[in-house]
Amino acid sequence: MKYTILTLFPGLVRPWLEEALIQKAIEKGLIEVEVRDIRDYANNKHNIVDETPYGGGAGMVMKVDVVVRAIEAAGEADEVILLTPAGRPFNQRTAEELAALSSDQGRKHLVLVCGRYEGIDARVEQFVTREVSIGDYVLMGGELGALVLLEATSRLIPGVIKEAESHQQDSFSTGLLDYPHYTRPASFRGLEVPEILISGHHAKINEWRRRQALSRTKARRPDLLNGTELTPKDLAWLDAQDGSA
């Protein structure tokens, strides 16, 4: 997968690419990340990228001609994604959909457009394939959103994470929140690792983990249960918990 991030502040993005698994994935050639400065496409003496909005109002708006030139200069893309609070909510399903592009023959290309200031001229929407929001709040720009999308999708590309199975049980991948994890020491300040996890009985461990995932989801994100395929055994266990409450 190739990612091209279009931003007015490349210095906010590049350090993120120089650490941890993202850096290793780049070094291995599993992903390619290009960061482009939108100011390079201003095509005017003072590199002006924003103007006051028609109709008045506070703040400045990024110019349509500048942003579109940056998008077109990035080359042919499978998706051009605008990070904006007005976009559709980004979730694990969207991440899986975008990551699946890389499984097709040939390297796929995502262009991520980061807004700033009061926003981007609405006509830019005609030059993108989708608009994405990472949450119901407003940031100073789209850079963090682009990095969230980069991490969420790239970790699903084969080889980026060593243990391929690790992300298959992640929160949201199964429709449920992830079950709790424990490691050594077995006892810490009176807090004990559940005995089942050190029993060596894998079938019972798996059953415990499933129930923990169900319990956590019901307590913290009950809305997710409506969109998750539950087995009759899952439903019976949830009903039993309601009866004992």
List the catalytic residues.
85, 118, 155, 170
Closest CA to 156 of 16, 5, 30: 30
Q: Are strands 79-89 and 109-114 parallel, antiparallel or unpaired?
A: parallel
In order of 82, 215, 218, 230, the CA distances from 224 in angstroms are 26, 12, 8, 11
Closest CA to 119 of 98, 93, 138: 138
In order of 4, 10, 26, the CA distances from 33 in angstroms are 6, 12, 7
Name the DSSP class of 75. Answer: -
In order, the DSSP letters of 167-220 are: GGGSTTTSSSPPPP---S-SEETTEE--GGGGS--HHHHHHHHHHHHHHHHHHH
- CB atoms inside a 10 Å sphere around CB 21: 14
- CB atoms inside a 10 Å sphere around CB 86: 11
Name the DSSP class of 158. Answer: B
Q: Is the peptide bond before 185 cis (omega within 30 degrees of 0)?
A: yes
